Amino acid sequence: MRSKLNQFLLATSTCLLAATAAQARSLSPVDQAIQNFVPHLERVECRFAAPQGDSAVCLMAWMPMSYGDLDADGVLPENAPRVGVHLTLLENFTNNPEPNPLVVIAGGPGQAGSDMLISMGNALEQRRNRSIVLYDQRGTGLSLPRLDCPDLAASELDENPFNDPSFDPEVALAARIAACRDGFVEQGIDLATFDTRHATIDLRQIRKALGLSTWNLFGTSYGTRVALDAMRVDPDGIRAVVLNSTLPTATQFDAHHLAERPRIFEQLHADCAADEGCVAELPDLRAALHRIADHLEDGPIRLQFRDPESKEISRKEVGWNDIVTVLYGHTSFTATSGAVPRFIAELAQVVEGRLSLDDEEVARMFQSLTGKIVESMALGLHLSVKCREDFPGLDSEAMAGVMEQSGFYYPDRAPYAIYEKACPIWDVGEVDPAFAEPVRSDIPTLMLSGDVDPLTPITWANEALPGLPNAQMITFRGIGHDVFGSVACARVIMANFLDAPESPVDAVCARNAQPRFEF
């Protein structure tokens, strides 16, 4: 097995580069230089032990920090700065010649493919006949440099006071952001080169260096933006694409996103009313929410819980904005959304003086929902992408209109306020406006969408669909973010699609997805 994997991984790309030479002649000098560039692939030690009977290879692909440093022949001068892009490669479990691997592109932005090692290592539906390539986008995971900001925390981005780390007070946040940025600049790191387009060019050149004529891309959340842009950058090198919870190339900071909060709460009201168990426990969910909000007009309530790690008692004052933000956060993920009606029922009893929540329930309600997922994010990369690609397109006027119209769900502050504070400090410029244009591609594509996903609303997938004439979109009722990670049916559909991407998929199992509630 290992010899087969090594042969695939360490192949050269001489013939591929020769085949594209004629095509490169029509490119601009800069683009031609990039096309000519061949990254050096270095075998590195994997930082994990492969399970018994499995095998893996880890590589570092050395890329230019800035592709503008290449000479006309695609050669990078010795003194030009480089970045290392880490690849973890997991072998397929058959004797088939390597047909075309599946490249896993993580979300965030700021997460890495290697963060998905356990889930993808166990994804036998996908690995039964093709290898998996876990791609650590430059600046993330095991890539070098990793753009960490030790004095910032991803939990500060969700504006949930129960998640706040023990850093300086919020008044010092701007200073901490500036200090992180200055530290990178002092190291000679050009933060503007850590964005989606650089990631997709990296992917194309790595594919060529591996000697692969085509491969398949699988992106989740922000990873779908990378996959979509790769369809423009490397159209001939991609056999098929899977978009799991689609984030388009256009700005995430738009009115559509804000409008999802009232829509998803209204859907929650309707789904609870249609569920015998839910309506028995909470006959009028909407009325319960309004009772909570009305009570909090007189001032916040004070809650306490024992931190499960430090065991220390934490006390916080909680207002309506905190509660509606936290409840909405729970709707993001299928695993936690089923508890939202119960949380609403309990909070209604708390404000009416009929119930005191124990530490465990308060912690479950208010602490971070994403845990190790956000803890693993490289915040420097996160800010570089969001500030270059999303923040410049922020339409404050349109967003203010949505918030005014839906004031019950947006009582105090706008989401994204952290980026309005951070992006002017991070100062990485903005991408070419053409980057935000809808992607148009004939590459066979599978889109997996949950109809109650607040993080990547289904409206974004619907907007991307017209530019992808060979796309098939499968919608899962009552499912939130990351359909692949939430529903076994989605993983089977994806595996069948990759086997025959030009054929209609059998998605009958998707009909079984329905909202579920717990009390």
Neighbours of 236 (CB within 10 A): 11
Q: What is the mean pLDDT of residues 394-400?
A: 86
- DSSP class of 235: G
Q: Which domains can be identified in the chain, with CATH numbers?
A: 2-143+208-249+438-512 (3.40.50.1820), 148-188+253-431 (no CATH)
Q: What is the mean pLDDT of residues 420-431?
A: 95
Per-residue confidence (pLDDT) for residue 16, from 0 to 100:
36
Per-residue confidence (pLDDT) for residue 375, from 0 to 100:
72
Is residue 492 helix, strand or coil? helix
Is residue 84 helix, strand or coil? strand
pTM, full prediction: 0.92
Q: Tell me which of 40-44, 97-101, 383-387 is least confident.
A: 97-101
Per-residue confidence (pLDDT) for residue 437, from 0 to 100:
96
Q: What is the mean pLDDT of residues 195-202?
A: 98
Provide the percentage of residues in the chain whose pLDDT is more than 90: 63
Per-residue confidence (pLDDT) for residue 366, from 0 to 100:
81
Q: What is the mean pLDDT of residues 469-476?
A: 98
DSSP string, 331-355: HTSHHHHTTHHHHHHHHHHHHTTS-
Q: What is the mean pLDDT of residues 381-408?
A: 92
430: Cβ–Cβ under 8 A, 6 or more apart, which residues? 388, 389, 391, 392
Per-residue confidence (pLDDT) for residue 142, from 0 to 100:
96
Q: What is the mean pLDDT of residues 15-40?
A: 68
Compare 130 and 120 and report the one with higher pLDDT. 130
Q: What is the mean pLDDT of residues 318-323?
A: 89
What's the pLDDT band for 149 if we cut at 50, 70, 90? very high
